[in-house]
Amino acid sequence: MGVFAAVGVLLPFPYYYWLWTNPQAWVNLCGKDKNPSKVMSYVSHFLKLLQFISLFSVSTLSWPPPLYFWPLFGFGQFLNFRVYQLLGESGTYYGVRFGKNIPWVTQFPFGVIQDPQYVGSILSLFACLSWTPFQYILLWTLGYVFMIYVESKEDPATRAKPIS
C-alpha cells in the first residue's frame, strides 16, 4: 500500500473528529462573522479533492465500468444529494454541533437508512472497486465507520455556543 495514497485517503477523518469533539474551538476559530458550517464545507471540499487525487494515483481506469458500478454509484450519490437537499449546508456540516438549530428530518432516506450520507458514500466507493485496489476502498470505508461511531455518541452538552 502506498503510504502517501493511504494518508491522503485518511486525511479528512482527523479533521472531522476534531470538529465533532471540539465544536467550540472551531466556532471560536471561525470568529463572529463567519458561518462555521460554511468554513467547514470549504475545508472539507479541499480535503475531499486530496482524497480523490490520492485514490486516483493508485487507480487504473477503464471503460466501460462493470454493470454493478451504475446502481451502486447512482444510489450512493442519490443518498448523498438527498441528505444535502434535506439538511442543507448547516445540517450536513455539523451545524448542530456549532450551536445552530437544525430541524429534525424524517423524510426518506432518514428513518429508513441509518447514516444515509455515509451509506451513500460507501456505496459510491464500492462502485469503484474495479478501478481501485480494495485496501484503499477499505481504508476510506473504515474512516466512515469510525465517524459513524464518533457521531453516534453525540452529547448535547458539548455543543458550541454561538459567538455573540
74 marked as binding residue:
yes
Residue 154 cell numbers, joined: 453525540
Q: Is residue 154 part of an annotated ligand binding site? A: yes
CA distance 158 to 155: 6
Q: Could you identify the residue written with the cell 424524517? A: 106
Q: How far apart are CA 106 and CA 10, in angstroms?
A: 31
The DSSP result for 82-96, as a single string, is HHHHHHHHHHHTTTT
Instruction: In whole angstroms, give the CA distance from residue 70 to residue 124.
Output: 9
Q: Is 155 assigned to a binding site?
A: yes
103: nearest Cα among 112, 95, 111? 95
**Spatial contact of 57 and 131, defined as CB atoms under 8 Å apart:** no
Q: Roughly what angle, to the nearest 10 degrees, separates helices 134-152 and 3-10?
A: 30
Does 75 show up as a binding residue in the annotation?
yes
Binding site listing for S-adenosyl-L-methionine:
74-76, 154-155
Binding site listing:
74-76, 154-155
